[in-house]
Amino acid sequence: MLEAKRSVEQKYRALKPIVDSLEGETGSVVIKTQHRQAINRRWHPTSFWMEDLPGDSSIEREYIPETYDSETGELDEGPFDLVTKARGRLFSALIRSGRWETIGERFEGVDVSSSQYQILSVLLNDKELEEALAVKSAHQIAAERVYPGDADGPDRAKLILVAGGYGSTPDRISWKKNIPVEEVRHVLSSLSPAVEKYLEYTHEVAYAVDPMKGFTFTDPFDGSGVLWHPIAAREEYIKSDKVQIVTYVPADGGRVNPKKLSQQIAPMLIHTLDSAFSGLVVEGLHRRGVQNIVALFDCWLIPEHYLREYGGNPRLFDEVIEEAGAAWLPILGPIYDALLEYREAVSEPEWMGSLKKSWRARVEAGRWPRFRTKRVATYHYE
């Protein structure tokens, strides 16, 4: 609770001087920031902005009068319940800066549902999981299998799957979420046995890399070389008469910490592919003349007038997401190649080779993935 409180206070203190600098009630300020690409290949702000923002809010909802049916091409009558995002509501502040003619125009877009597991289903050639995720989120699928008939099952499954998707071990998830470890393992294995196999394979790879070179691969989006080399370190105490601090210094000549690397490879490769897909979506929007894009990992928001001009949401995003999937699948090769470098040191060396073979056949057949998205809109204040 104290950590959460401090996090909120830090964001408030960062924004307060900006707000205080405005002249009167009609003042505005344009905030610009530089970005860095983190070790997991995702982009983060450096000079000014929050590092993260909350996701869905269960109490902040609005109703929309109609929705577009992508299968029939018709508009269905509403109203429909639409979950808005806190990050979407925050970015609605951008439209009040006077850079768009229609003051008060809101942002709308889409968010990929269970993106980590949709990506995993494609990478691991799990057709059953990919088809299931085309209609339901990962936590909904897991809840039906682990907590049938339990109304709280999806929320409980989501707590486990989100942490598991980021590489947390069952023991750590159990401790952090206060959920029995056997239940955690049951939920994590409920989606697909291939997911657990992938975690085991990358764990073996982490212990097989050259301890002085680390794990290397080529980024599938921009072709740049990537090195993951978390070093082994030891604590070093620095003291004076009044102060004592502890820091870390390299141990064993800067050798790889295999335990740390084993926690990184599995989730960070998925982040890499997630970031590549996001880049393709942004390029697709830009080619269609969209100039103002808010890209937050696997969520994209644009001013709603672009959607009106294109025939309505989600026609524009349907087209862009489908196009990005067709461009994304053929660039997965470097990920398979990097993992195959260590096939002689893993317990099931033929498995990754079979996955690459299936991937190549899918590319040749042109069976492009179509990631399922959910609609996101900024919350509009009167």
Q: What is the pLDDT of residues 142-192, one digit of tens each?
A: 999 999 999 999 999 999 998 887 777 888 889 988 999 999 999 988 999
Q: What is the pLDDT of residue 37?
A: 81
Note the helical H segments in 288-344.
304-309, 315-328, 333-340
Q: Are 77 and 66 in contact (CB under 8 A)?
A: yes
pTM for the full predicted model: 0.78
What are 368's strand-pairing partners?
A: none
Distance, CA of 113 to CA of 109 (rounded, Å): 13
Q: Which residues of the chain have pLDDT under 70?
A: 23-33, 47-105, 311-314, 377-382
Distance, CA of 209 to CA of 257 (rounded, Å): 10
Q: What is the pLDDT of residue 31?
A: 63
Sign of the CA dihedral with 362 first, then 367, 368, and 370 last? negative
Q: What is the pLDDT of residue 53?
A: 54
Q: What is the pLDDT of residue 163?
A: 85
What are the Cα distances from residue 66, in Å, to 75, 133, 300, 337? 6, 25, 21, 46
Q: What is the pLDDT of residue 95?
A: 46
Unique residue bearing structure tokens 């980021």: 166
Q: Are 122 and 129 in contact (CB under 8 A)?
A: no
